[in-house]
Structure 1
Amino acid sequence: MTQDWLFDFGNTRLKCAPLGADGGVGPVRAFALSELDALPSGEVAYVASVASEDARVQLLDALSRRFRRIAIARTAAQFSGLRIAYANPQKLGVDRFLAMAGAHDAWPALIVGVGTGLTIDLVDRDGRHHGGRIAPSPTLMREMLHARATQLAPMGGTYAEFANDTEDALVSGCEGAALALVERSLAEAKRLLGTPPRVLLHGGGADPLHAHLKDAHLRPALVLEGLARWARMDVVA
């Protein structure tokens, strides 16, 4: 039987997985833009992309040679019980939209994406999106500091609450800034909802933050989980 596939194309990497017979997400694979010739083939390619237009065109061109149909996910004001806070749905990144949809089983949830950027979104138990935040991720903070002051290393170091080495201070400061934003958002979410939401972490930079966030849950394929949910609706339609 020909396989349908899910593709999550972010600013730094492409992740894909087969759509399971049960509508779930199969084993996840990662590709660089230079590896598009190695992509799988199948019947339908379900795509979520926040990459640049040039990169997106390259991906769609590669997929068009491997799949009979390409279905591109887009943000909607309402989807599968989710109601987003944005007055203009198209201004909300499809990755954030799908991550919220993918977290359906965990609402109320504070959903934290750690990739090129750090994104935070709050969804209550009824699927109402209360809005969110966008900031540089710890990785991007390091890269930006290095770009302005080349003597500051763009990577390396060990996290400490009070570091006694520059590399350690850099990683501690950048990760600490992200942790503080998540913790502030969690405190405000508790106040707003009257109950603590689950904290769900996803994205390539989630692991370092997870080590310092008590009771947070790693959901590395959350965007693909939401895309699978969107694909199921596409099949029903």
Structure 2
Amino acid sequence: MSAWLFDLGNTRLKFARGKVASDIGEVGSLDHHAGADFSELPDEVRGDIAWVSAVASPAVRAALLAVLGPRFARISFARTLPRCGGMQIAYAVPARLGVDRFLSLLAARSAGDAVLVCGVGTALTLDLLDASGLHRGGRIAPSPTLMRESLHARARQLPLDGGTYAEFADDTIDALASGCEGAALALIQRSRDEAARLLGAMPRLWLHGGGAPALQARIHDAESKPRLVLEGLARYAALGDASSPDLAR
């Protein structure tokens, strides 16, 4: 069976062939925006089934469906489950845990260790998974990029991007970069410290998302996992969740 995986985030679509986490093909990506039609999706992206993780708006999701519909016999959207693949989430209402966070945790379960999963996209998310597969909960905060956008929206004289990180900057643009990145780094470190207190040992730190590389450069033992949501989606697909909502063609 020919399968493709799709991770539809708030600003980017990632896609790859395959449904086995250890055998995901090359990852492609497209930036999208309001009114996106995904017309640039390569023609080779077609097959028997499309597995989709979607956190974007309904309009963007509908635009993707319009492109995938003629290309796939079946389209299946992943959904957050209370238990899956030896992993149990902390949320009492599963639908309140974003499917991208759920799939990232599902991928982290394969490590067999305690992992603090940090996603750096529009938001900065942190989720703690212990070695037994129990999700201990998490945090959501603005990412450094969103912090800069919010400051610029309120005070146009503050640059939207640019600047160099410094512990004590001597220029406004550098101070902005340092403050916004530093806030994220501080939240990550506090979360790691509290996780170590809770579990009795420091968990591994996995970073993913478009803003992850900038933070990883300042955390010496962080592990880069740029395909984490797709890997979790591949594991979800391999587990064969028969109850996930499908659109049969």
TM-score (norm 2): 0.91
Cα distance in 2 between the residues matched to 1:167 and 1:58: 37
2:194 aligned partner, one-letter code: E
Deviations, residues 78-103 of structure 1 (Å, cap 9, x unaligned):
00011000000000000000000111
Question: Which of 76, 82, 87 does residue 92 from structure 2 map onto?
Answer: 87
1 or 2, which has the higher helix percentage?
Answer: 1
Secondary structure, counterpart of 1:169 in structure 2 = helix
Note the 1:40-189 alignment, pairs <5 A.
Answer: 40-106=45-111, 107-189=113-195
Q: For this pair of structures, how many residues does the alignment match?
A: 236
Corresponding residue SS for 1:37: coil
Instruction: Report the Cα distance in structure 1 between the residues aligned to 2:110 and 2:141, rounded to whole angstroms.
Output: 26
On the 8 A contact 1:8/1:15 being kept in 2, the answer is: yes
C-alpha displacement of 1:41: 1.3
Q: How far is the alpha carbon of 1:22 from its aligned partner?
A: 7.5
Q: Which ranges of structure 2 fall in alignment gaps of 5 or more residues?
A: 244-249
1:210–1:218 contact (8 Å) kept in structure 2: yes
Determine what percentage of the aligned residue pairs are the same residue: 56
Alignment partner of 1:190 out of 158, 182, 196: 196
TM superposition shift of 1:24: 2.8
Q: Which has the higher contact order (CA 8 A, sep 6+)?
A: 2
Q: TM-score, normalised by structure 1?
A: 0.96
Candidates 205, 208, 223, aligned match of 1:217: 223
AA in 1 matched with 2:151: L
Alpha-carbon RMSD across the aligned residues, in angstroms, is 1.6
CA deviation string 1:110-168 (max 9, x = no partner): 00000000000000000000000000000000000000000000100000000011111
How far apart, in 2, do the equivalents of 1:215 and 1:37 lie? 39
5+ residue gaps, structure 1, are none
Amino acid at match of 1:25: I
After superposing on structure 2, the runs of 4+ consecutive aligned residues of structure 1 that deviate more than 3 Å are 20-23
Distance 1:75 1:206, change over 3 A: same
Determine if contact 1:48/1:73 at 8 Å carries over to the other structure: yes
